[in-house]
Chains A and B, each alone.
Chain A
Amino acid sequence: MGGMNARDIDDIAADFSRGRISRRDALKRLAALGIGAAAGSAFIAACDRKTSSSSEGTARTPADTIYRNGTVLTMVDDRRQADAVAVAGGKILAVGSEADVMATKGANTVVVDLAGHTLMPSFIDAHGHFMNAIQVVKWANVQGVPAGPISSIADFVPVLQEQARTFALKPGDWIIGYGYDRSNLVEGRELNVDDLDPAFPDNPIMLIHSSNHGAVLNTAAFRLVGYDENTPTPPGGIIVRKPGTNIPYGLIMETAFLPIFTKAPKPSERQLLDTLDDAQKIYTRVGVTTVQEGATAAKDLRVLRKGADEGLLYLDVVSLPLFLEIPELAQDFAPDFVGGPADIPDEAAKAFGTYNNRLKLQGIKFIIDGSPQGKTAFWTQPLLTPGPDGQPDWRGQPLFPPETILKTMAAVHAKGLQVFCHANGDAAIDLAIDGMRATGVKAADDRRTVIVHSQCMRPDQLDPYAELGFSPSFFSAHTFYWGDEHLANLGPQRADFISPMASAFAKGLRCSNHSDFSVTPMEPMRVMWSSMVRTSKKGVVLGADERIDNWKALQALTIEAAWQIFEEKTKGSLEAGKLADMVILDANPLTAAPEALLDIAVLETLKEGKTVYRKEAA
């Protein structure tokens, strides 16, 4: 054992116990010091025992930071709370009693006084669209209260003026807003050019409708896109005219909107990369440190990859490439690739499952149907109201031929990749069940097929979920944002079973809950609240039996979401060895009454021990 010294061994022990190096690397370094494999393994096992049990609190290396004097929610079932947490090297060193955790204190350890606040694992965005975040940070939020600031016609001009100030817009520059919807306005009428023109005679304005199928324009914008009183209304479109005239008055929809939208300015790749910081702040200020890009096109993945390579990501971004993009993605690596989505190359699986500069490909995203509020979901039974174009007996339809979806799903599964499948209506869910059942998959295979949204499930679909190992990522906030519409369209029986979280947990399924950002705001407490109260804007409770308690509601945003992306060993709970991805809240969401959840503020967000957000003192 010549040449070795105790200091080297201590370093190896410290690196290993902090998770900086793998067992294999530790053995290699020990071997280099002349310690044989058997002795090395025994040594490592000893290190492991010292740190894996947090309650012993006798780690050899001191903590960088200790958090104490507050509520610590571990999100671990059999020991929900702890007194304190110690962090070292970006990982959790110890969680447990005050005495055990303080035992890790060294000379340079910073001890943070939580002052009664709550520390818990940061939230995981179980499903959303990070590319939308990059886009909307440059747009004005003109959604209705509470998703945005709008409740009347008079609210628009100040919001848009603020937008012009924030981005130092000059006359002639476009002002783009998102989330416009007449139903948010007390006046109950559409916004028009007379409301906007006095304040904005020179800046073209486009306020995109909440459906994304239309927009309100001002006169400067109409001038720029060439719409005037001589413009005919195209078939399948709407151009609202000023009463008594033929002059376009503001709202344009569908085929009248599409040619316009292509004229709106498109950001360059550099501009997109420059907004990555602002986009990530949307997440950090609400305590989210793992972000999903849940339907990634090939060109978007190029932007994300470039951002990652330039070191611009400080949150973990989980990307799910769209199944239709498989050929183009394959061509990025194999220029001679020819074939369709089902011809996914054998090598593809290697690109998945590990972070590279904070960007990870996790699985392939399938989309079977549209949205229930847009009436483009795919149900087995017709709606009680007409379809989006007034169709009677409308039950929606799949977005792709079932043969195409099933064939590609089988190919992706066979290559060992995880399937994420967008399915809202029960017929779309049937298709997902048919498709995965055909692969022969069983729950025991642990493939964790995620059925994104799973909103309009039928009770009889819970058993096949359990059998095939499906994990729903629910969207309970729909009960609030569109609950009243769902009641009208689906009737109470079907509407009450939307995102059936209590039934799914009772069936033993692992369930996450999401905001589908930017479809609804990035607001974990709103998502949690909705799963506990399931109350619509008009105050109607949808499916009281499907309400869940604080604990399950929080798990759906943390450990359950981590499990769905195979990260439950590193994220989602506070346990020794896991990443120190944490959030400090000003109140305890585990004991808060549901209404109080919406007032809980994020004081600080930490990614691997590093502060990525801190609330400014009031």
Chain B
Amino acid sequence: MSVPLTVIGGYLGAGKTTLLNHLLGNNHGLRIAALVNDFGDINIDADLIESADSETIALTNGCACCTLADGLTTVIAALRERSDDFDHIVIESSGVADPLKIGQIGAAFGFPLVAVTVVVDAEMVRTQSTDKYVGDTVMRQLGSADLLIVNKSDLVAPGELESLGAWLAVTAPDTPRLTTRGGRVDTAILLSSLRTSDTSTVEAGSHDSFDSWSFRTDAPLRRSDVEAFLTALSPGVVRAKGILRLADDTTTEYLLQRVGRRASLLPLKAVSAEDPTDTRLVVIGVPGSIDGELFAQRLSGVAPADS
């Protein structure tokens, strides 16, 4: 199976590296290959470091951190040769890059893009968005985001956070947001793997509280119903993940991913039509965004798609 790819973008100082430090040091069971511009700000507990040279740091938890000194395409081509070693690729894009373009380059090398996440400095982003040099660059980054991570939320007053949310809702419409501080984001929400157990808990450090909904059925779903279900999800839904059996292709198991507003439905593995595997799905969102009854109706083709 192809290793999924997540890009972490955002302007200089938003907290991309802090977020990455958090992901790499976390005990999540995922073997992450993180591609970073330089090691300057990478800060990993020395006990976790298995080996290190000027281009790669290998961690005892199976993760690795590689610099992009030789260029993104060279590094990612090399990574393709050892994709069995990793469960997830994370690229930290430079402070002015369009992270969607970085994601497209990664996808061109066979790593399916599951999310472009853009980290936002809660205190600075609105000033940055009008800067004479980088204002339009910052705005383009926000427009490329599938998921916004509003970081450093502890540095602004609650009222400010609210007006920032309203501004982001206009600036980056329909883009789900996580609010956090110190880059602490739930790995299960940001990344994806079959190794992670379904979760609805969110770590301390987040301002958000989430509801979740789990679904299981032994009846294959219609592809059009799944697509309609995904389209109708509100921006409050930050994450969905599932193993699906589809009626039009009973010999394949599918992986459903939705991170922020980007959804993908990819063939996972060939199975026999008689294989008893159920369809399983979990959806995570802010309170009010989850309506389990309606979701179940949509997935079984009962509810109209536009309700």
Asked if B134 is at the interface of the complex by the 8 Å CB criterion, the answer is: yes
1/0 per position for A415-443, CB-CB distance to B under 8 A? 00000000000010011000000000000
Asked if A483 is at the interface of the complex by the 8 Å CB criterion, the answer is: no
Q: Which of A128-136, A145-153, A397-405, A444-452 contacts B (4 or more CB under 8 A)?
A: A397-405
Q: How near does chain A come to B263, taking the closest CB pair, in angstroms?
A: 15
Asked if B11 is at the interface of the complex by the 8 Å CB criterion, the answer is: yes
23-58 of chain B: CB within 8 A of chain A: 38-40, 54
Q: A236-B108, A400-B94 are in contact. Are A262 and B134 (CB under 8 A)?
A: no
1/0 per position for B107-150, CB-CB distance to A under 8 A? 11110000000000000000000001110110010000000000
Across the interface, do B95 and A261 meet the contact criterion of CB distance under 8 Å?
A: no
Residues from chain B with Cβ under 8 Å of A256 in the complex: 108
Asked if B307 is at the interface of the complex by the 8 Å CB criterion, the answer is: no
Residues from chain B with Cβ under 8 Å of A427 in the complex: 132-133
Q: How near does chain B come to A436, taking the closest CB pair, in angstroms?
A: 16
Q: How near does chain A come to B129, taking the closest CB pair, in angstroms?
A: 13
1/0 per position for A261-277, CB-CB distance to B under 8 A? 11100000000000000
Closest B residue to A337 by CB, please name it: B54
Size class of B's contact patch?
20 to 34
Across the interface, do B95 and A400 meet the contact criterion of CB distance under 8 Å?
A: yes
Across the interface, do A397 and B134 meet the contact criterion of CB distance under 8 Å?
A: yes
Asked if A547 is at the interface of the complex by the 8 Å CB criterion, the answer is: no
Q: How near does chain A come to B293, taking the closest CB pair, in angstroms?
A: 35
Docked Cα-Cα span, A147 to B205, in Å, equals: 60
Docked Cα-Cα span, A331 to B299, in Å, equals: 57
Across the interface, do A259 and B95 meet the contact criterion of CB distance under 8 Å?
A: no
Asked if A234 is at the interface of the complex by the 8 Å CB criterion, the answer is: yes
Across the interface, do A235 and B96 meet the contact criterion of CB distance under 8 Å?
A: no
Residues from chain A with Cβ under 8 Å of B134 in the complex: 397-398, 401-402
Across the interface, do A401 and B95 meet the contact criterion of CB distance under 8 Å?
A: yes
Across the interface, do A236 and B74 meet the contact criterion of CB distance under 8 Å?
A: no
Choose one: A235, A398, A400; the contact of B107 (CB below 8 Å).
Answer: A235
Docked Cα-Cα span, A262 to B110, in Å, equals: 14
Residues from chain A with Cβ under 8 Å of B136 in the complex: 395, 397
Closest A residue to B108 by CB, please name it: A255
Residues from chain A with Cβ under 8 Å of B132 in the complex: 380, 427
Residue count of chain A within 8 Å CB distance of chain B: 31
Across the interface, do B133 and A431 meet the contact criterion of CB distance under 8 Å?
A: yes
Grouping DSSP codes into helix (H, G, I), strand (E, B) and loop, the A interface class, with mixed when no group exceeds half, is loop
Docked Cα-Cα span, A235 to B144, in Å, equals: 14
Q: A328-B69, A340-B38, A397-B137 are in contact. Are A404 and B12 (CB under 8 A)?
A: yes
Across the interface, do B77 and A234 meet the contact criterion of CB distance under 8 Å?
A: no
Asked if A327 is at the interface of the complex by the 8 Å CB criterion, the answer is: yes
Q: A258-B73, A261-B73, A339-B40 are in contact. Are A400 and B96 (CB under 8 A)?
A: yes
Across the interface, do A262 and B77 meet the contact criterion of CB distance under 8 Å?
A: yes
Asked if A237 is at the interface of the complex by the 8 Å CB criterion, the answer is: yes
Q: A259-B77, A401-B11 are in contact. Are A234 and B107 (CB under 8 A)?
A: yes
Closest A residue to B39 by CB, please name it: A338
Residues from chain A with Cβ under 8 Å of B54 in the complex: 328, 331
Residues from chain A with Cβ under 8 Å of B12 in the complex: 401, 403-404
Residues from chain A with Cβ under 8 Å of B38 in the complex: 327, 340
Choose one: A236, A327, A430; the contact of B101 (CB below 8 Å).
Answer: A236
Q: How near does chain A come to B126, taking the closest CB pair, in angstroms?
A: 17
1/0 per position for B44-84, CB-CB distance to A under 8 A? 00000000001000000000000001000110010000000
Closest B residue to A427 by CB, please name it: B133
Q: How near does chain B come to A213, taking the closest CB pair, in angstroms?
A: 11
Across the interface, do A401 and B108 meet the contact criterion of CB distance under 8 Å?
A: no
Residues from chain B with Cβ under 8 Å of A255 in the complex: 104-105, 107-108
Residues from chain B with Cβ under 8 Å of A403 in the complex: 12-13
Q: How near does chain B come to A398, taking the closest CB pair, in angstroms?
A: 6
Residues from chain A with Cβ under 8 Å of B95 in the complex: 400-401, 404
Residues from chain A with Cβ under 8 Å of B96 in the complex: 397-401
Residues from chain B with Cβ under 8 Å of A263 in the complex: 77
Residues from chain B with Cβ under 8 Å of A328 in the complex: 54, 69
Across the interface, do B133 and A235 meet the contact criterion of CB distance under 8 Å?
A: no
Q: How near does chain B come to A214, taking the closest CB pair, in angstroms?
A: 12
Q: A328-B69, A401-B95, A401-B96 are in contact. Are A259 and B133 (CB under 8 A)?
A: no
Closest B residue to A403 by CB, please name it: B12
Residues from chain B with Cβ under 8 Å of A399 in the complex: 96
Docked Cα-Cα span, A255 to B109, in Å, equals: 8
Docked Cα-Cα span, A237 to B39, in Å, equals: 31
Residues from chain A with Cβ under 8 Å of B94 in the complex: 400-401
Across the interface, do B133 and A258 meet the contact criterion of CB distance under 8 Å?
A: no
Docked Cα-Cα span, A399 to B95, in Å, equals: 9
Docked Cα-Cα span, A108 to B105, in Å, equals: 66
Q: A398-B96, A398-B133, A400-B94 are in contact. Are A236 and B40 (CB under 8 A)?
A: no
Across the interface, do A234 and B108 meet the contact criterion of CB distance under 8 Å?
A: yes
Closest A residue to B133 by CB, please name it: A402
Residues from chain B with Cβ under 8 Å of A262 in the complex: 73-74, 77
Docked Cα-Cα span, A324 to B69, in Å, equals: 9
Residues from chain B with Cβ under 8 Å of A261 in the complex: 73
Docked Cα-Cα span, A593 to B73, in Å, equals: 48
Residues from chain B with Cβ under 8 Å of A338 in the complex: 39-40
324-368 of chain A: CB within 8 A of chain B: 324, 327-328, 331, 338-340
Q: A398-B133, A399-B96 are in contact. Are A259 and B11 (CB under 8 A)?
A: no
Docked Cα-Cα span, A256 to B101, in Å, equals: 13
Docked Cα-Cα span, A338 to B40, in Å, equals: 7
Docked Cα-Cα span, A401 to B13, in Å, equals: 10
Docked Cα-Cα span, A235 to B133, in Å, equals: 28
124-183 of chain B: CB within 8 A of chain A: 132-134, 136-137, 140
Choose one: A259, A339, A431; the contact of B108 (CB below 8 Å).
Answer: A259
Closest B residue to A368 by CB, please name it: B133
Choose one: A258, A380, A397, A400; the contact of B105 (CB below 8 Å).
Answer: A258
Across the interface, do A237 and B133 meet the contact criterion of CB distance under 8 Å?
A: no
Residues from chain A with Cβ under 8 Å of B40 in the complex: 327, 338-340
Residues from chain B with Cβ under 8 Å of A324 in the complex: 69
Docked Cα-Cα span, A129 to B213, in Å, equals: 58
Docked Cα-Cα span, A380 to B11, in Å, equals: 20
Closest B residue to A400 by CB, please name it: B96
Closest A residue to B80 by CB, please name it: A259
Docked Cα-Cα span, A453 to B175, in Å, equals: 40
Docked Cα-Cα span, A270 to B104, in Å, equals: 35
Q: How near does chain A come to B296, taking the closest CB pair, in angstroms?
A: 32
Closest A residue to B135 by CB, please name it: A397
Q: How near does chain A come to B46, taking the closest CB pair, in angstroms?
A: 14
Q: A397-B137, A398-B96, A401-B96 are in contact. Are A235 and B104 (CB under 8 A)?
A: yes
Across the interface, do A234 and B133 meet the contact criterion of CB distance under 8 Å?
A: no
Closest A residue to B100 by CB, please name it: A236
Closest B residue to A236 by CB, please name it: B104
Residues from chain B with Cβ under 8 Å of A380 in the complex: 132
Most buried by B among A255, A399, A404: A255
Q: How near does chain A come to B262, taking the closest CB pair, in angstroms?
A: 12
Docked Cα-Cα span, A398 to B39, in Å, equals: 22
Q: How near does chain B come to A175, taking the closest CB pair, in angstroms?
A: 22
Docked Cα-Cα span, A430 to B134, in Å, equals: 13
Docked Cα-Cα span, A504 to B54, in Å, equals: 44
Residues from chain A with Cβ under 8 Å of B105 in the complex: 236, 255, 258
Q: List 15 A-B contacts (CB under 8 A).
A: A255-B107, A258-B73, A259-B108, A259-B109, A324-B69, A328-B54, A380-B132, A395-B136, A397-B137, A400-B95, A401-B11, A401-B94, A401-B95, A401-B134, A403-B13
List chain B positions with a Cβ less than 8 A from chain A.
11-13, 38-40, 54, 69, 73-74, 77, 94-96, 101, 104-105, 107-110, 132-134, 136-137, 140
Q: Known contacts A236-B108, A237-B108, A401-B94; can you find 19 more A-B pairs with CB under 8 A?
A: A234-B108, A236-B101, A255-B105, A258-B73, A259-B109, A262-B73, A262-B74, A331-B54, A395-B136, A397-B136, A397-B137, A398-B134, A399-B96, A400-B95, A401-B95, A402-B133, A403-B12, A427-B133, A431-B133
What 10 pairs across the A-B complex have the smallest Cβ distances?
A255-B108, A236-B104, A262-B77, A401-B12, A401-B95, A234-B108, A340-B40, A397-B137, A258-B73, A235-B104
